Amino acid sequence: MSRDPAVAGQFYPGTKAGLRKEIEKYIINGAGKIKAIGVVSPHAGYMYSGSVAGATLSSVELAGTCVVMGPNHTGRGRPFSIMTEGAWKLPSGDCEIDSVLAKAILSNCGDLEEDDVAQREEHSIEVQVPFLQALKEGVRIVPIVLADAEVEVYKAIGKGIAKSVKDEGRGATIIASSDLTHYEPHDSAKQKDGKAIEAILALDEEALVDAIRKYKISMCGYAPVCVMLAASKELGAKKARLIKYQTSGDATGDYDAVVGYGGIIVY
């Protein structure tokens, strides 16, 4: 089973040469790399969030397989979707799914279902992959799309992912694709995003959900972040570091209604 690109030519250049040139603008060559277990990376169009994604992923010693989780923006398909076979076709080249790890995760996570419908038009995972391909030759992915649920569901999925990674014994980088506050003035967005980032840096998925509810933070990918935190802690993570934060206003100069982007590594 293959998945064709949904946002090539929109969120990022639609040609191989154009995409390579764009990616090179954001990757930091010679960046000190940490063997991170988990990552938070944004997923807007590259002109808006590419510098945050590039700086963050450039700081990670990526494993050969990345479990890449995103929210369900389209509302299509199963609420907790995984693809276990095939490849994602992109201008940067095909990216194979790690079928062995994907099938193990499906077996160990009762809430996940095999489903490509939720993934066909979903951009949040897709925009991460060209960065991963540029930074890790031959990288494979396990794509997972997550809908809203109670935090206990996220913890259970995270533990299932961690068990699968441990059982396979090969390691994996677990990436949560998420933007932060949407379409608020820059100062308001920055203040709210600070609350979410604080909870993530504390490795506390419950505090993250509480902050989102208390401060009405329109963070689209909190579900993937919660799962990533739960999995990372099961795999031994003790610390987190904010690599870069900015808003779309920093790219466009329009600070009236911005989207926030944070890049965080968990290790």
The span from the CA of 140 to the CA of 97, in Å, is: 5
Reduce the DSSP state of residue 120 to 3 states and report it.
helix
Fold classification of 2-266 is Protocatechuate 4,5-dioxygenase; Chain B (3.40.830)
Quote the pLDDT of residue 254: 96
The span from the CA of 9 to the CA of 25, in Å, is: 17
Quote the pLDDT of residue 1: 79
- Give tens-digit pLDDT for 90-124: 999 999 999 999 999 999 999 999 999 999 999 99
- Give tens-digit pLDDT for 222-255: 999 999 999 999 999 999 999 999 999 999 999 9
Place of tokens 């929109």: 10
- Residue 198 clears pLDDT 90, i.e. is over it: yes
Sign of the dihedral through C-alpha 109, 72, 79, 202 = positive
State the Rg of the chain over Cα. Answer: 17
Sequence-ordered list of residues with C-beta below 8 angstroms from that of 214, at least 6 positions apart, any chain:
195
Q: Whole-number mean pLDDT of the chain? A: 97
- Give tens-digit pLDDT for 20-51: 999 999 999 999 999 999 999 999 999 999 99
Does the reported pTM lie above 0.85? yes
- The predicted model gives 175-186 an average pLDDT of 98
The span from the CA of 200 to the CA of 240, in Å, is: 8
- Residue 174 clears pLDDT 90, i.e. is over it: yes
CA atoms within 13 A on the CB side of 134: 26
- Residue 261 clears pLDDT 90, i.e. is over it: yes
- The predicted model gives 154-173 an average pLDDT of 97
